[in-house]
Amino acid sequence: MLQVKNLHASVEGEAILRGINLEIKPGEVHAIMGPNGSGKSTLASVIAGNEDYEVTEGDIIFEKANISELSADERAHKGIFLSFQYPVEIPGVSVTNFIKTSINQIRKARGQEDMPANEMLKKIREKAALLEMDRKFLSRSLNEGFSGGEKKRNEIFQMAMLEPKLAVLDETDSGLDIDALRVVSNGVNKLKSDENATLVITHYQRLLDYIVPDVVHVLIDGRIVKTGDKDLAKVLEEKGYDWIKEELAQQA
């Protein structure tokens, strides 16, 4: 589904990603872990097509097409979803209206008619129930006065509604109390299928107790330096990242 090949990216002339290789197949959940500042959010942004970052080398292939030159909107239309670490507030636009507009924009870009209102309503109810969301919440202004947990829940709601092929979740766990973490993770797990894939980016192992990854990658200084299964996340939780840095230093 997704192939990242020798990806190098810079921001303001400084190299952040320095040769990332990554392959995600349909049905898989991959986790990217790494210390603060290692380039995790940069990788998420570059996959999603954020133009603040300059790709200096390498390619991103999505469903066999090279998407390296596509805009963020075009990638979203193809089914790539990025959750936002710091979601925007849009006063006066409700959670429901925002998602209706987003869905119909994507449909329009794909040459489809607007989703019929009754179908939209049904889907909103179904997904809100899946994520144990309050009715009242749906009519609130987008992100205005939302708690950290509410912002995250809203992100996952957007994801549930948009049904992306590839969901990139950046630090979805930050700001979540344990109950909200469980609800959000359950939502992500319930949305999993053989046809979609998830890339979970997290600094902490905690989230991976709930969203169990098939593959765990460690990102340090803009490179994937280690890849393993879910047990690697447990080792990282116990031992931190220094032992990997030492291993790398010895190899050098």
Q: How far is the CB of 201 from Mg ion (least distance, A)?
A: 7
Q: What is the DSSP string of 161-197?
A: HH--SEEEEESTTTT--HHHHHHHHHHHHHH--TT-E
- Tell me: does residue 205 bind ligand ADP (CB under 6 A): no
Query: Toward Mg ion, which CB reaches closer, 40 or 153?
Result: 40
**Closer by beta carbon to ligand ADP, 42 or else 185:** 42
SS3 category, 25: coil
Residue 55 near residue 7 (C-beta atoms within 8 A) = yes
Residue 39 contact among Mg ion, ligand ADP, none, beta carbon within 5 to 8 Å by kind: ligand ADP
Paired tokens of 190? 């319930």
User: Which CB, 21 or 174, lies closer to ligand ADP?
Assistant: 174
* Footprint on residues 4-43 left by Mg ion (CB under 5 A): 36, 40-41
Helix (H) or strand (E) holding 223: strand 223-228
12 interacts with ligand ADP by CB under 6 A: yes
59-80 residues labelled b (16+ CB within 10 A) or e (exposed): ebebeeeebbebeeeebbbbbb
Out of 16, 128, 156, 191, the only residue in the binding site for ligand ADP (CB under 6 A) is: 16
Q: Scan residues 51-110 and list those touching ligand ADP (CB under 6 A).
A: 52
Give min distance, CB of 14 to ligand ADP, in A: 7
